[in-house]
Chains A and B, each alone.
Chain A
């Protein structure tokens, strides 16, 4: 494994067109075919779908991070005029199974919580009414009695939790959802023989996609044929259908998915099952088409767009020339209350764990822990953005060690070379500036030369006009790189 990179040289470019030669499409502005309809308000997004006799759903969401649901009184809500159904998690569960989950053993998640809520914003009850306004009125009339349980908000505490602090006791007495270790190359030998080891604890907090359009679905059910038609704004129709079929307890061919344009996704509409399974389930229960569109609060608190939330304890082994030889990461990932993708997030991170650098051995030890937050989803880099952050922070370690240049697999002209003295010397912060300005002139020249050699160019790349660096004076746009 350790020689994989060396034995797989990058093949020469197969590009036949030379730069500057007239091309048919490349370099030309091309207008998108879908724009005229989007520009004239005819995009037909999910909330623009309007079916005859359609009902509207609204969801009551948990105000507690971790609690047992002792009782739910829906009588006042159900008595409100124009309300068709008020359903608790238990009611929905009688007709619909758990949501799909790509982890083993599975972590059971339902479109409306049954017996226990595990994060603020988790669905507790749902109202179906003749209008969304009335459905939301009815939410205010539902009384829920909770019994609070210990809240796990810190992943390091959640790992150690026992008893009622365990979110899913049916899986076993621990909040650890997954623990996997991946090693490549001679990690032990590289660390044993390292001249220096740089260690850092790096934290990547949770973020979210926040597309302008939330997730929604409009479902209808033909009881005679047993078929569903579901309009939805997912961006992953390949598997949404059959995974949804599992939850609904029907063969996949009984579901006709009608894709609509998504008003932004950034990964967050990859896995929209909570919404589409709920809408389909309600359509089957009510015998009429049902529209459910998340409002902004629904989307914030219970969407699929929460990103990675990780603590990396990272070690980088350097040889006597300060060249990077080995990387070791112990990762604690705060997945939230449920676990959609299993190892998926870390598979993506692992596929680019060394970034653009030549590092011959890697040890990645991943622990995913369940906490009382909305579960992570497929946000953007889908876990890999964290790995990129980590490797870049490691190469710019503020340990005082100058990690050697010339370790990039791919030559670069647009970024400062990786002669990463940046942590201890200011570097140019001018956008698009090609200079690798360091206070240390010798280092700067060496890195420019090495980069020029790698890119096959005889002279260093031109600086951008914005950089006002005078020769041998240090860049005037420099800033402390420790920011």
Chain B
């Protein structure tokens, strides 16, 4: 059995210390070690983007990243966004605009949208297309996903004004 390495990561605000094999993928670490199965693995080689998480705020494919590389990093997954009865504005927008069908690519899409809207609260269509351009969706044809991200920007502005 390969030797293990001790890592400390903060995932969705919770600090975890684990001993992991150096070859363990970050996606498998999140899913199997921490039971955070919201992050999906579609292709396991960086093509589909379903496994995208935010690593220190940057959208990262967790299937192309080793868990040991995330040592001392802060990770955000789809589980950090909202709950079924209290959706995050991006999730709410995807629901309203039918930005998902089977839902398998959705966690990756959501995390890309979150990263975009933090940096650019008023993205134009081109910026949205660019932000989700590395993620595959086989159901929607993308148009509703783009509409959902536009709607998410509106919802976030409405919330900011209301606050």
Q: Show the binding face of A for B, using Cβ within 8 Å.
A: 29, 31-32, 34-45, 47-48, 50, 81-82, 133, 209-213, 261-266, 295-296
B103 interface hit (Cβ, 8 Å):
yes
B-side binding surface: helix, strand, loop or mixed?
loop
B39 touches A41 (CB 8 A): yes
In the bound assembly, the distance between CA atoms of A266 and B101 in angstroms comes to 12
Q: Which residues of A lie under 8 Å from residue B37 when comparing CB positions?
A: 41, 44-45, 47-48
A39 touches B138 (CB 8 A): no
In the bound assembly, the distance between CA atoms of A37 and B103 in angstroms comes to 9
Task: Return the chain A residue nearest B91 by Cβ.
Answer: A39
Q: Shortest Cβ distance from A216 into chain B, in angstroms?
A: 11
Out of B45, B98, B102, B110, name the residue touching A211 (CB < 8 Å): B102
Task: Return the chain B residue nearest A82 by Cβ.
Answer: B1
B36 interface hit (Cβ, 8 Å):
yes
Q: Shortest Cβ distance from B124 into chain A, in angstroms?
A: 21
B104 interface hit (Cβ, 8 Å):
yes
In the bound assembly, the distance between CA atoms of A44 and B31 in angstroms comes to 12
Out of B31, B35, B139, name the residue touching A264 (CB < 8 Å): B139
Task: Return the chain B residue nearest A44 by Cβ.
Answer: B37
Out of A39, A133, A210, A261, name the residue touching B94 (CB < 8 Å): A39
- A29-B96, A48-B37, A213-B40 in contact; A43/B103 too (CB < 8 A)? yes
A36 touches B95 (CB 8 A): yes
Q: Shortest Cβ distance from A223 into chain B, in angstroms?
A: 27
B110 touches A39 (CB 8 A): yes
B50 touches A212 (CB 8 A): yes
For the complex with contacts A35-B94, A45-B40, A266-B138, 9 further pairs of A-B residues with Cβ separation under 8 Å are: A29-B98, A39-B110, A40-B82, A41-B77, A41-B79, A45-B37, A45-B104, A213-B102, A261-B102
In the bound assembly, the distance between CA atoms of A373 and B85 in angstroms comes to 48
Q: Show the binding face of B for A, using Cβ within 8 Å.
A: 1, 21, 23-24, 31, 35-45, 48, 50, 77-79, 81-85, 87, 91, 94-96, 98, 100-107, 110, 136-139
A261 touches B103 (CB 8 A): yes
In the bound assembly, the distance between CA atoms of A39 and B90 in angstroms comes to 9
In the bound assembly, the distance between CA atoms of A45 and B110 in angstroms comes to 18
Q: Which residues of B lie under 8 Å from residue A262 when comparing CB positions?
A: 102
In the bound assembly, the distance between CA atoms of A29 and B96 in angstroms comes to 8
A35 touches B41 (CB 8 A): no
Out of A29, A36, A212, name the residue touching B137 (CB < 8 Å): A212
Q: Which residues of A lie under 8 Å from residue B39 when comparing CB positions?
A: 41
Q: Which 10 A-B pairs have the closest CB atoms?
A: A41-B38, A263-B104, A38-B103, A36-B84, A48-B37, A41-B78, A39-B91, A212-B42, A264-B102, A212-B104
Q: Which residues of A lie under 8 Å from residue B35 when comparing CB positions?
A: 50
In the bound assembly, the distance between CA atoms of A40 and B107 in angstroms comes to 8
Q: Pick 26 A–B contacts, CB within 8 A, sort by A.
A: A31-B95, A31-B96, A34-B103, A35-B103, A36-B95, A39-B84, A39-B94, A39-B100, A39-B110, A41-B37, A41-B79, A41-B107, A47-B31, A47-B41, A48-B31, A50-B35, A81-B1, A82-B1, A212-B42, A212-B138, A213-B42, A261-B102, A262-B102, A263-B42, A263-B103, A295-B44
Q: Which residues of A lie under 8 Å from residue B79 when comparing CB positions?
A: 40-41
Q: Which residues of B lie under 8 Å from residue A44 when comparing CB positions?
A: 37
Q: Which residues of A lie under 8 Å from residue B23 when comparing CB positions?
A: 133
B84 touches A37 (CB 8 A): yes
Q: Which residues of A lie under 8 Å from residue B42 when comparing CB positions?
A: 212-213, 263, 296
Q: Which of A36, A44, A262, A266 has the most CB of B within 10 A?
A: A36
B41 touches A40 (CB 8 A): no
Q: Shortest Cβ distance from B106 into chain A, in angstroms?
A: 6
In the bound assembly, the distance between CA atoms of A41 and B34 in angstroms comes to 14
B83 touches A39 (CB 8 A): no
B21 touches A212 (CB 8 A): no
